[in-house]
């Protein structure tokens, strides 16, 4: 299932070792034989052969609403669970010692620089010490979020994941913004990723208001853009549209899940029926 992964030779690959040493020293990077959202426990336990220790984490059952997706219940339980829907082409876990970063087959054919950027982002997130999934961020307030929004359990999951992406992005972007000189190739890849989002952001607020784009999907896009919206980036980065711009604030960084739940509650009160 797993093999050692190496980015092909190139400027981005040359920058990655220093990034890993600075943010996630010793982290293991593995290539996966097949795509996954969540690894089967038996497959996940193969990591025991590659790492020094496995330390599965669990969360109180009351943090997860009864009607939440089954995968979220599994993640909160005592079953060793790695990866969740929405993780993308690169995922990581600190349930292993050292931490493990997974490169999925869906990235096959992607430019090496883009893959290197995703790896660098994973290293930075590991170094920040943030939870690997949104449940560790919201904790018992995930139930409050679910109660605050008129969404299905699956849509609430998608919204929570987006909100957590924004919260982490408020932190990772500050790191990437400092890389202009030291890690210029990865910095350019970060800027390019933001620029590619910009056309999709134009008119997003109107699409939500007209019911053309579902709110959770719009949140996923806008919250991803927050990772690239930072003063000091070219033209101050991308512009996050309302109502998601209210998440692009130091207040969110300071107050975390409490702010996210209140933002969601107030936002849905203002949305047209």
What pLDDT is stored for residue 236 in this prediction? 53
Question: Whole-number mean pLDDT of the chain?
Answer: 91
Burial of 88 (0-12, 13-18, 19+ CB in 10 A): middle
Quick: pLDDT tens for 167-197: 999 999 999 999 999 999 999 999 999 989 9
Q: Using CB atoms within 10 A of its CB, is residue 7 exposed (0-12), middle (13-18) or buried (19+)?
A: middle
Share of the chain above pLDDT 70, in %: 96
Give Rg (Cα) of the chain. 18
Helix axes of 141-148 and 250-270: crossing angle, nearest 10 degrees = 30
d(CA 106, CA 58): 29
Q: What is the pLDDT of residues 93-104, one digit of tens each?
A: 999 999 999 999
Mind listing the pLDDT tens digit for each residue in 23-60? 999 999 999 988 988 887 778 778 888 999 988 889 99
Global pTM?
0.94
Please tell me the distance from the alpha carbon of residue 271 to that of residue 273, in angstroms, as a whole number. 6
Q: What is the SS3 assignment for 111?
A: coil
Q: pLDDT tens, 118-159? A: 999 999 999 999 999 999 999 999 999 999 999 999 999 999
- Residue 231 above 70 pLDDT? no
N-term to C-term CA, the chain: 47
User: Which pLDDT score, from 0 to 100, does residue 234 have?
Assistant: 47
Confidence (pLDDT) at 48: 86
Find the range with the poorest average confidence among 112-116, 150-154, 257-261: 112-116
Q: Which residues contact 192 (CB under 8 A, 6 or more apart)?
A: none
């Amino acid at each position: 299932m797993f093999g050692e992964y190496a980015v092909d030779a190139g400027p981005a690959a040359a920058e990655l070792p220093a990034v890993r040493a600075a943010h996630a020293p010793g982290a293991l990077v593995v290539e996966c034989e097949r795509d996954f959202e969540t690894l089967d426990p038996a497959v996940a336990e193969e990591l025991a052969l590659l790492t020094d220790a496995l330390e599965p984490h669990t969360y109180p059952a009351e943090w997860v609403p009864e009607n939440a997706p089954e995968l979220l219940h599994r993640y909160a339980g005592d079953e060793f669970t790695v990866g969740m829907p929405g993780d993308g082409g690169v995922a990581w876990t600190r349930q292993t010692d050292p931490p493990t970063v997974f490169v999925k087959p869906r990235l096959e054919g992607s430019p090496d620089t883009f893959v290197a950027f995703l790896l660098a982002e994973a290293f930075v997130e590991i170094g920040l010490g943030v939870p690997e999934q949104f449940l560790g961020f919201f904790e018992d307030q995930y139930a409050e979020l679910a109660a605050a929004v008129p969404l299905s359990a699956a849509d609430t999951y998608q919204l929570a994941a987006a909100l957590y992406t924004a919260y982490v992005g408020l932190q990772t972007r500050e790191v990437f913004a400092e890389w202009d000189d030291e890690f210029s190739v990865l910095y350019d890849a970060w800027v390019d990723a933001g620029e590619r989002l910009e056309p999709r952001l134009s008119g997003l607020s109107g699409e939500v208001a007209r019911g053309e784009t579902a709110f959770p999907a719009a949140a996923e896009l806008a919250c991803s853009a927050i990772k690239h919206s930072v003063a000091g980036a070219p033209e101050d980065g991308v512009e996050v549209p309302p109502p998601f711009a209210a998440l692009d604030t130091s207040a969110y960084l300071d107050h975390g899940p409490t702010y996210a739940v209140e933002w969601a509650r107030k936002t849905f009160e203002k949305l047209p029926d």
